Structure formats: C-alpha cells, structure tokens
Copies of this chain bind each other. A is one copy, B any other.
Amino acid sequence: MTVTIREIAKHAGVSRGTVDRVLNDRPGVKPEVRDRILEIVNELNYVPNIAAKALAYQKKPVTFGIVMPPKDIRFFESIRSGITSAAEELKDLGVRLEYRYVDNKRPEEGAGAIHELVEAGVSGIMFSVMDDELIRESIDAAAQKNVPVVTFNSDVEGSKRVCFVGQDLHKSGVVAAGLMNRVLPAEAKVIIVTGSLKFHAHRSRVEGFKQGLANSGSRLQVARVIEGFDRYEDTFALLNQTLSEHTDISGIYMATGDIAACLEVIKLQRLEGKLRVICNDLMPEAEHGLRERIIDFTIVQNPERQGYLSLRLLFDLVFAGKQPETEHYFTETHIYIPESL
C-alpha cells in the first residue's frame, strides 16, 4: 500500500490541507502539529506521487531557468540537446524551461539573469557561466530564496549551488597521456597546447596529462607547453614556431585552444600523419581534423549527458525533494577515432 497525504492526515487527525502545508513548508501550522505530522511522514515513509503533483501543477507549470552562453557557441550545442531530451521527458510532468543567454565574459549579465529568473518565480536554475564573485553572490541569494542552482560544464566554486555536473578535466588529461603512450615509441617528444595556465580549468588537463605519464612510468617527454590564450593567431604563431624549431616532436596534445589553428600549422608544415594529435571534444573542427586523419583521437565527456543530468537532478530535487547524492557529477570519458563517428 502506498502512503498518501490522506493517510498521513488520518493518522495525525488533521485535514489533508494541513499536511500539504507542512510538506511544502507553507506557513500557518502550529509548530507542534507540524512536528507531529513530520514524524508520521517519516514513520510511514511517505513519498509524494509525482504524477499527482504534476497534474495538480498543471495550471501553474513549474519553470526552470537556464543560464548559458549564446546559441552560437558551438560547444554548448550538445549540452543543449541533452537538456532538450530531458525536457521532452519532463514536459508531460508540466516542466517548462526559460533560457537566458549571457556573455561568458560579463559576470554582471550572468548574475543579472539569475536575479531576474528568481524574481520571475522559477523553481530552479541551471547555470553555466565562468566563475566570479558577482555570480557567487547571485547564486547564494537564489539559494537563500530557496531556488536551487545546479552549475554545469563550469563550476562556481565556493557558492551555494546544490551541485556541479561536468567533465573531469584532470581525467581527460590522464586519458590523453594513456593514448599517447600507446601510439608513440618510448622516448618520443610531445608538446601540449593549452589556453592559459593561469586558469584552473585549463591547467587541470595539462596536469592530468603529465601525471598520467608519470603514473604509468612513461618515458615520453613533454618538450613544451604552449599557451595560446584560446586565440587563433597566438596559437598558430606559437605552434608554428615551436614545430619549426623542434623537428623531433612526434605528438601534440591539444588540451585547450583553437583546433583550427593547430590543423593549419600541421598542414602548412606538411606534417599530416607524421604527428600523433589528440584533442578534446567533438566540435566541427575536431570532427574535420579526425576525418582528414590529422587528428588521431579526440576525448569527449558526454556533453549531452551533462545537460540531461543537470535538468533531471533539478527536477528530482524540486519535485521529489531528492537531494543530489554528490556535489560533483562527472560525465564519462570517451575516446573517439574517425571510425567511431
């Protein structure tokens, strides 16, 4: 027999309305009554019926806000598709989505979006904008008003977000090292391309790679780490120069940075097939590089799943009161070669 609100009410000798008030933290119940009801709820192991809840909410659908970089950022496409498929499943349960696209470089936009959404009465927020003090405050303010925030893809550490869903950057570096080990001879030299070592996110992959080499007792050498600052020109110039100067390089790990620039340099120097190249993610340039057989492997961390899971976690929290089981949800690491496309 499933326990319903009616049951609880009967046991407590009150009306269902009162039980509902208690369960949803609404005011207007004497503390002692509230306590007694909560006790019974626990004792009887009451679990709300989602279908009934969804049906009752029909008039005033539950809305979740989503704050992320603009649509034209290709990287977020697959995350969006994951969100969409979760939304598809939850549509039947009356869940609506409200997107806010903000500039990653302007924390005030992200913070503003959160504020707006909270004012608009959303029941939860998915958030993916680069870490910043303004944003942290904004998330905490939302938490204060009982609007849970789930960060995805990039975390806002130290904030009161309920959890983070994203990649394990360190691990992707370790995996890249593992691959290099398998495709290169023992003492080969490789270089790493990253955005900027100042950023934790960029550094993680580089560190993972180095640690991966160390852990496996590899004798591969990292000849150089190039910081391209995610700009085409810088990446192109530095990589071009490095490869000209060091003709004994046999592998490149594109940890972060402009893949197109990397591909161009390789073509320019006619190194196609002579270098083993590993990059991350399945953006169009990476796919292109794979198909052209310039890139050997790309390491992907299930972005669809990131989107799907974030929304699902928010839903479970809001609808079923189910707290996330961990603070960090990492999506699985997968390796792609052209044949697996």
Contacts and interface: CB of A to CB of B under 8 A. Distances in A.
Contacts of A332: 334
A339 B182 CA distance: 12
Interface string A48-67: 01111011001000000000
Interface string A297-341: 000000000000000000000001000000000001111111110
Chain A, interface size category, equals: 20 to 34
A178 B52 contact: no
Interface stretch (A87-95, A197-205, A256-264): A87-95
Specify the main secondary structure of chain A where it touches its partner.
helix
29 contacts: A49-B55, A50-B51, A51-B54, A51-B94, A52-B55, A55-B55, A89-B89, A171-B340, A174-B339, A175-B337, A175-B339, A175-B340, A177-B339, A178-B339, A178-B340, A182-B183, A182-B296, A182-B337, A183-B183, A212-B339, A216-B339, A332-B334, A333-B340, A334-B334, A334-B335, A334-B340, A335-B336, A335-B337, A335-B340
Contacts of A223: none
A283 interface: no
Which of A58, A216, A339: most chain B CB closer than 10 A?
A: A339
Contacts of A333: 340
Given A178-B339, A334-B335, 16 more contacts: A49-B58, A50-B51, A50-B92, A50-B93, A51-B51, A51-B52, A55-B55, A175-B337, A177-B339, A178-B338, A179-B337, A216-B339, A332-B334, A334-B334, A335-B336, A335-B340
A176 to B, nearest CB: 9
Contacts of A334: 332, 334-335, 340
A335 B175 CA distance: 11
Nearest to A93: B51
The 8 nearest A-B residue pairs measured at CB = A50-B92, A178-B339, A51-B54, A335-B335, A334-B334, A51-B55, A51-B51, A175-B339
B92 A49 contact: yes
Contacts of A51: 50-52, 54-55, 58, 92-94
